[in-house]
Structure 1
Amino acid sequence: MKVIPAIDLMNGQVVRLYKGDPKQKTVYSDNPVEVAKKWEANGADMLHLVDLDATLGIGSNLPIIKKILDQISIPIQVAGGLRDESTITDVSKICHRIVLGTLAFKDKSILQKLLVNLGSKKIVISVDHLDGEIVTHGWQNQTKIKLIDAMKEFLSIGFSEFLLTNISKDGTLEGPDLEFLSQACQLNNAHVIASGGISNIKDVQNVKQQNAFGVILGKALYENKISIQEAKQIV
């Protein structure tokens, strides 16, 4: 299982939000590049960069993301606001993987084209949900689409990489959502990264037991409740 620190970017700073709410923001650093270097030096398998400004449609941290990509050698996946073909194609050229959420549910024709052009391993489908129902547009829009049904459809199209977040857990340190993670990981050919709620090493163990492909470390990492080295020993 991959250990993947998250670097959430807002207004050029490294932040964490509580349940995705921009009004409940904690700033952890004004230097995202140094944070990325720190997590790489500590043994991270991959980094998960999220442009929250792009997600919310209020700006872009792409210049900072490019700086990080220039100075980091481990794989990096980029998420947040990737909703048009041109931007996605440009970003895909400079990072290991791109994470698509809103577009994946809004425009299946562009998604199919990207699948052909980039390949399934380059694209991670972000299946953000609230109690088993998909949410999009920076978690602002509830779709009524069932999580597992959505994943089955993406698998049938040819996708295999997923980022699974129960938004009621994100930034809470209340422990991961093992119920839906277990269901998702049991789907054939689904490689699932678990995100949200990790608070201690036991949570990492529990995620590993579900056969997840990876685990995102966020708030617990920034508040020194867990270290990358501890997580690596478990996985």
Structure 2
Amino acid sequence: MKIIPAIDLMEGKVVRLYKGDPSKKTIYSDNPLEIAKKWESAGADMIHLVDLDATLGRGSNFEALGNIAKSVKIPVQVGGGFRNETIIEEALEFAQRVVIGTLAFKDKTVLDRLLTTYGNEKLVISVDHNDGLIVVNGWQQTTKIPLIDAVNDFRKMGFSEYLSTSIVRDGTLKGPDLEPLKMVNQIENVNLIVSGGISNIDDVIKVKELDPFGVILGKSLYENQVTIEEAKGI
């Protein structure tokens, strides 16, 4: 299981939101590059970079994403507001993987074209959910699409890489939402990254028992409730 720290950017600063609410943010650093190098030195397998301003449609940290990706030697996965073909293509010039959420549910034609061009290892489908129902548009809109149905549909298209965040757990330190993750991880040919609610090393152990592709550490890492070294050691 890959240990993947998250670096969420808002106005160039490293922040964490509570349940995705931009009015409930905590700023942890105004130097995201320094944070990226810190996590790299600690032994992170990959860095998960998120442009929250782009996600919420109120700005862009795209240049910062590129600078960070080019400054570390470990793989970088970028997400947040990647809602057209052009910006995804530009991101793949510096990032190893791009997370696609809203676009994946709105334009299957573009999605299919991207899959043909780049292959499934570079494209990660974001299946974020609110109590098992898919959310899009920066978590502002809950759909009627069940999480499991969404993953099965994308798998039939040829996608293998997924990121799933439980928004009711994200930033809460209340533990991961294990049941839906367990169901997703049992689907054949699915590499799942688990995100949301990790509070301590015990939560990391519980997630590892599901045998996912990776786990994202966010608030627990920034609040010193778990370390990358600990997570790598289990």
Instruction: Give the TM interval when normalised to the shorter protein.
Output: over 0.9
Q: Counterpart in 2 of 1:111?
A: 111
| CA distance in 1: counterparts of 2:232 and 2:72, whole angstroms | 19
2:10 is the counterpart of 1:41: no
The superposition leaves residues 39-85 of structure 1 with CA deviations (integer Å, 9 ceiling, x where unpaired) of 00000000000000000000000111111012101000000000011
What letter matches 2:129 in structure 1? Answer: H
The superposition leaves residues 83-135 of structure 1 with CA deviations (integer Å, 9 ceiling, x where unpaired) of 01111111112111000000000100000000000100000000000011000
Q: Counterpart in 1 of 2:189?
A: 189
- List alignment gaps of at least 5 residues for structure 1: none
Q: Counterpart in 2 of 1:217?
A: 217
| CA distance in 2: counterparts of 1:48 and 1:94, whole angstroms | 13
The aligned runs of 1:84-103 (5 Å cut-off) are 84-103=84-103
Q: Counterpart in 1 of 2:154?
A: 154
Task: Tell me which stretches of 4 or more aligned residues in structure 1 moved more than 6 Å.
Answer: none
| CA distance in 1: counterparts of 2:160 and 2:217, whole angstroms | 21
| CA distance in 1: counterparts of 2:69 and 2:187, whole angstroms | 32
| CA distance in 2: counterparts of 1:123 and 1:166, whole angstroms | 20
- Number of residue equivalences: 234
| CA distance in 1: counterparts of 2:74 and 2:211, whole angstroms | 23
Q: Counterpart in 2 of 1:65?
A: 65
Deviation at 1:222, TM superposition (A): 0.2
Q: CA RMSD in A?
A: 0.5
State the TM-score, normalizing by the size of structure 2.
0.99
Q: Counterpart in 2 of 1:130?
A: 130
| CA distance in 1: counterparts of 2:109 and 2:53, whole angstroms | 26
Q: Counterpart in 1 of 2:26?
A: 26
What letter matches 1:58 in structure 2? Answer: R
The superposition leaves residues 151-196 of structure 1 with CA deviations (integer Å, 9 ceiling, x where unpaired) of 0000011000000111000000000010011001000001000000
| CA distance in 1: counterparts of 2:149 and 2:170, whole angstroms | 22
Deviation at 1:142, TM superposition (A): 1.0
2:204 is the counterpart of 1:200: no
State the TM-score, normalizing by the size of structure 1.
0.99
Q: Counterpart in 2 of 1:6?
A: 6
| CA distance in 2: counterparts of 1:102 and 1:193, whole angstroms | 18
Query: Percent identity among equivalent residues?
Result: 61
